Amino acid sequence: MFRIIKKSLATGVVTGQYPAAKAPSEPVSREAIEKAKPFRRSLTIREVDTGSCNACEMEMNALANPVYDVERFGVHIAASPRHTDALVVTGPVTVNMERALKDAYKQTPDPKLVIALGDCAINCGVFKGSYAVTGPVERHIPVDVRIAGCPPRPAEILAVLGELRKDRPNSDR
C-alpha cells in the first residue's frame, strides 16, 4: 500500500519524456480546427475499432499512460459514444463493423468530430482489396481529421490533437 505511494513519489512526474514527433504528412485542415473550437479546453474521445490489427489501439492506449498523459490537455477517453465529442476510428471498415460504426456516429451528440487514425482508416492500408472490407471510413461517415501512419506514433497523435487546440489556425506557419 504505502510502497506504491513511496515509489510514485520517488519516481516523480515522467510526463513529456518521449521522442519528438515528425511533422504530420497531412496538415490539419482549417475547417477541422474551426469545427474543434468548442472542444479546445475539453475533448472526449471514443475509440471505434472497425477491424484494425490492434496496433493502432495500442498507440491510442499509450496516450493515456504517464509518459504521454493526454489528460493534461483536457482530453478524456469515454466509455459511451453519447459522452463523446470526437470519434477516433481505426482500421478499415469491415462488413461486420459497418453498421456499428454508423450507429456510433448517429449516437454521438452534435457538434462532433471524426478522426481517422492510421493508414487503414484513411485508405484501407494493407487490407486494401480484401473481401471483408467495405472501404475506408470516409465512404461511410464524414471524416474531419486524418492521422497517417501504420501505426502512427503516440507523439504524432498528440501533435495533431495539439493542432486542433490552436487558437488561430496555422498562424505561426
Using the contact rule CB under 8 A, the part of the chain among 33-41, 115-123, 128-136, 141-149 near another protein is 33-41
Cell numbers standing for residue 169: 489556425
Of 48, 77, 115, 160, the residue at the interface with another protein (CB under 8 A) is 77
Note whether 126 and 150 are within 8 A (CB): yes
* Residue 53 makes contact with ligand SF4 by CB under 6 A: yes
Q: Which is nearer to ligand SF4, 60 or 70 (CB)?
A: 60
Note whether 88 and 52 are within 8 A (CB): no
Looking at the DSSP bridge assignments, the partners of residue 94 are 133
119 binds, among another protein, ligand SF4, none (CB under 5 to 8 A by kind): ligand SF4
End-to-end CA distance of the chain: 50
Q: Which of residues 78-97 bind another protein (CB under 8 A)?
A: 78-80, 82-83, 85
Written as one letter, the residue type at 80 is S
Q: Can you say how many angstroms the Cα of residue 14 is from the centroid of all Cα atoms in its chain?
A: 22
| Residue numbers at the binding site for another protein (CB under 8 A) | 1-2, 4-5, 8-9, 11-16, 38-39, 41-42, 44, 66, 69, 71-74, 76-80, 82-83, 85, 107-111
